[in-house]
Each structure stands twice: as structure tokens, then as C-alpha cells.
A and B are shown apart, each in its own frame.
Chain A
């Protein structure tokens, strides 16, 4: 497989793996929680490295995902105490964890040589560097298969728990009365989001992962009123954006994730303006009809 093809595929798979759980993230009002999770990745990786001593170890992803889960559960616990209002509970834990991570890195804890800048920004082309070679034939970047596995796990989870997720998202009280353990389901879902964010940060960088998770789903949410439609649209926007963003970045010689997030942003803005104009025209037509009717 050629390098460009492999990298493009990696971009598409990463975008899909992030965007699909993003549908429920947006509907459950957890968008900023993804931001919090993505920052907790750093200390998780440092501690994971302490145990694994290998930057490619799956323990790293697990450690980082657990750190993400600490942020999620910690924020929920803080807001359940009732002593904090608004979204403050989400903004308290992740800076502390991130600070811990930065301090560990600078103290050279476990001799980990992490470029904190690379953790935040990420580089798809670097992630695609290592090729999987079987029998002398290149099968594309190794990381492509990691992201493919994450995508499959996400698909399986969403497929298995689709109806339960749907009920807990739209009517949590009804779900509880049906006997669905929504707390457990939520924890499992957020753990999955955490794993996805961690796996994707290698390719996209911790901050821009949010773009892959949230923006396609938000754009699809503008365009749809039914969940299956929204999921399909999200997937379509994610893939288109990945392809276009990849080429924008290629032409501009910039980081792919930055190109992708800006492209998603442009699509979002265009859709926002278009739906707004359509609403206004509808309203005008209706007012005209009301005014002209006898």
C-alpha cells in the first residue's frame, strides 16, 4: 500500500471511530467532557509508561483511558455533591491531572521522553510512519489497524446497546423505570469514549480530537430530527471532512488534524447559516400565507 493511501485511510478510519460515539456525546450534553478527557491523557500515558516501559504498549492506552475515566467519574461525583453549579465540576479535575502529568514529565519520571507539544498537537503522518509488513508486502500503517480495532469495538458497543443508549439519552427517568442501569451504561460509554480519544490522540493530538468527536455530530444534529438519520449524516460528514482536511493540510503543508478541524468548522458554519436562512424563508412564506389568507 502506498504511503499516501495508507495515511488517507488512517485519517478516514480515525475520523469515523471518533465521530460515531460523538453522536451520543453531543446528544448527552457531554461535549466539553471530551475536552477534559483528552487532557487527562497525558498523566495516564506517563504513568502507563512507568509500568510498561514501552511507548507502543497497549498498557499506555489503558492507563490513559483510565485517567479519562477518573475525570468523568470525578466530575460526576463533584456535581452530585450539589456544592457546585454549572459546568465548573468539569473544569476542576482535568487541569489538576494535566499539571500532574506535566510535572511528572519535567521531573523525568520513569525516564519517559515525551514531547508534550506532540501530545497536544499530534501528527497523522508521524503516526502513519511505521508500516505493517507481512511477507515483504506493505499492508499500510500499523496504526491503521489499531484505529480499525477501536472503530470495530465502537461499532459493536453502539450496535449492542443502541436501544438502551437511545432511551437513556432521551428519557433517563423512563429508562430507570424500565430497569436499565443508566449509571453503569454511562460509565461504560464514557470509558469507550476515553479509549477512543486516547487511541486517536496519536493521530490527531489531544486538543483536536474534540473536533473529530464533536463537530461532525453537531453538524448532523443541525440537519436531522431522527437518530438513524443523524448517525448516517455524521458518518458521511466525518469521512468527507477527513478526505478534504487531509488534502488541505497536504497542500498547505500543515498538520493534518489542524486542517481537518478547520475544514469541519467550515462545514459546520456553512450548514448553520444555510439552516438559518431556510428557517427564515419558511417563516416569511408562512407569514405571507397568513397575511394573504382571507
Chain B
């Protein structure tokens, strides 16, 4: 299929640009999660997005009497509950001796369990427009509508704008939290803001990609980008680029190949980008490090031989 033919089809166009938006936003904002050494928080967020969207659905249908599949309402619900899950995980480590990995696991499963209970309530009840709510588990990129696309672009742009406005605070707090506190920035406020942007980045993708795979969009591009660059702006830009390109290529492949689902194929594309970066990047990679190590060994050997040669001569 040629590219023009591909972009001429409305559904394909929506899938292509929708996943690229998700990849760009998640990749760029994932950099901060990566540098904070808390990448897996995105997995907690995506699982907590399930009860969030379901609660929003119930509120919209039962309380407001509106259409339950309104994308903005669902995103707001997911962002609120996702942020609560993050605050719960980080709060548990602050007030007790539980460490962050356990706190994240507890938060993930409690929120997801709540989501499963809500799912059952919705499945048993008669709510208008409850079809498709199951898509949130695995995601379905082919149902992205133009309204969904504009919503994700708007919300994603909002998150990116937040990042740019608070760039200095985020960077300082990421690399030197103590210094940032001394300078008078409130650590908890910056933390909440930073995690809120990560929540937004994770949540906008859940409908298209599914909550299980969303973690890959947040973790993989920064891990790949880190191998090529040493500066924060470079990393954020490259990571966003990797996310967008990987999503675009994955979406294109999935449509060209036919029956293969989009989300998993994008994840595999991103993983391939990561593997290439890990193996072949010029500065930090497994191969360059192996080469420089061999060289260093050879140099050391030469030096030792040179140093010992005159000594042997003197003995003789």
C-alpha cells in the first residue's frame, strides 16, 4: 500500500495520527519518570485508569444523564483516579517503611481490583452505551474518532505545555531534589505536577493501546533515547521522536499486514528501536563498551610489556 493511499483512508489516518500523538506525548513525558527512576509508575497509572474511566462513565450516565463515552469525561475521570493511585503509592512510602516497588504493586492491584468490581456492576446493569467499555483492557486503535483525536491532541498539548512552563523546576527537582527544596520550591507540589503530566501522558493512550501495554510507551522511548544523548532537552526531544516514529511505523505495519493488532505491533517496534540503541549507539552501548574495553586491555598489556622489557634486559 502506498503512503498516499494509506493516508487517504479516514480510519487509517485516525489510527496513524492518533497513535503518533500518544507516542510523542508519552515518550517526551516518560523521560522524567525514567530519570526519577520510577518508570513503572506508568503501569500503576494505566491500571488505575480503568476504575477512573468506569467511574466517569457511571457519573456521566447516572448523575448527568449524558453520553457515557464522552472522551473528555473519561479522560478527566482517569486522570483524577490515576493521580490518586500515584499519590497513594508515594504516600505509603513516605509514611511507612514499605518501599516504592511494593507500594506501587499494592496501589496497582487495589485500584485494578476496584475497576474489575465496577466492570461487573456495569456489565450487570442496564446502562446506555456500555458497549466498548471493555476495550480499555486491551485497547482498540481502530475506533479512534476525530473527536478522540482532537481531545488527545489538546490534552497532550496541555501536558507538554505544563512541562515546558515548569521545565526548570522539573529538571532541578529531578536531578537534585534537596537543592530544589533549599531554593524554596515545594517538593510535594512539583512532584504532584510532574506526576500529573505523566498521568495525562499515560491516560490518553489507554483507549487506543490498552492498559496493559501503555507502560511500554512510557518506558521504552526514554530508555532508548538515553543511550544517544547526555542532555535533558536532547533526551526529551529524542524520546518524543522515538515514541512518535515507533508508533507511526507500528500503526502502518499493522494496517499493511492486516489482521495484526496495532498496540502490540507498536510495542514491538519500540522494543526494536530500544534494542538497536542499546547495541549500537556510538557513546553508550554494549558494543562500543566491549570495543573500548578490549582496547583498554590491549593498551594495558602493551604498557606492562614495555615496562617489564628493560627490567628483563637489566637482569641479563
Contact = CB atoms under 8 A, between A and B. Distances in A.
A84 B37 CA distance: 9
Contacts, number: 194
Interface in B225-249: 226-227
Given A96-B268, A99-B264, A120-B212, A262 B117 contact: yes
Given A86-B38, A102-B263, 13 more contacts: A29-B101, A81-B286, A83-B284, A95-B213, A96-B268, A208-B112, A210-B105, A214-B106, A221-B102, A259-B113, A262-B114, A264-B109, A272-B96
Interface in B120-162: 120-121, 124, 134, 137-138
B271 A87 contact: no
A190 to B, nearest CB: 14
Interface string B66-90: 0000000000000000000000000
Say which size band chain A's interface belongs to.
35 or more
A253 B265 CA distance: 36
Interface stretch (A31-39, A152-160, A282-290): A31-39
A84 B102 CA distance: 21
Contacts of A233: none
A232 interface: no
19 contacts: A31-B102, A31-B104, A31-B105, A32-B105, A85-B35, A88-B34, A88-B222, A91-B39, A91-B43, A91-B219, A99-B268, A117-B134, A120-B212, A221-B97, A255-B117, A255-B120, A261-B113, A265-B106, A268-B106
A207 B112 CA distance: 8
Nearest to A39: B212
B116 A255 contact: yes
Interface residues of B, number: 61
Interface of A: 26, 29-32, 34-35, 39, 81, 83-88, 90-92, 95-96, 98-100, 102-103, 106-107, 116-117, 120-121, 207-208, 210-211, 214-215, 218, 221-222, 252-255, 257-262, 264-265, 268, 272, 275-276
Interface string B188-211: 000000000000000000000000
B45 interface: no
B101 A276 contact: no
A77 B208 CA distance: 31
SS class of chain B's interface: helix, strand, loop or mixed?
helix
Residue of A88, A120, A207, A218 with highest tally of chain B CB at under 10 A: A88
Contact of A88 (B98, B101, B112, B219): B219
SS class of chain A's interface: helix, strand, loop or mixed?
helix
Nearest to B218: A91
B101 A32 contact: yes
A262 B106 contact: no
Contacts of A253: 120, 124
A265 B110 contact: yes
Contacts of B267: 95-96, 98-99
